Amino acid sequence: MKHMEISVRVRYQETDQMGFVYYSNYFVYFEIGRIEFLRNLGFSYSKLEKENIFLAVIDAHCKYKSPARFDDLLTIKTWLSKLKHARIEFRYEIIRKEGEKLLAEGSTTLACLGENRRPRAIPDEIRNTITSKNLLPI
On the 0-12 / 13-18 / 19+ scale of CB atoms within 10 A, 98 is exposed
- Whether the per-residue pLDDT at 42 is higher than 90: the answer is yes
Tell me the per-residue pLDDT of 105-131, one tens digit each, with 9 for 90 and over.
Answer: 999 999 999 999 999 999 999 999 999
Q: What is the mean pLDDT of residues 70-95?
A: 97
Does 105 reside within a domain? yes
The structural domain count of the chain equals 1
The answer to whether position 43 is within a domain reads yes
**CATH code for the domain of 101:** 3.10.129.10
Q: Is residue 84 part of a domain?
A: yes
pLDDT classification of 1: cutoffs 50, 70, 90: low
Helix, strand or coil, per DSSP, at residue 110: strand
Query: Mind listing the pLDDT tens digit for each residue in 49-65?
Result: 999 999 999 999 999 99
Domain assignment present for residue 97? The answer is yes
The pLDDT of residue 137 is 87
Burial class (CB in 10 A: 0-12, 13-18, 19+), 136: middle
- CB 29, CB 82: distance < 8 Å: no
Residue 51 lies in a domain: yes
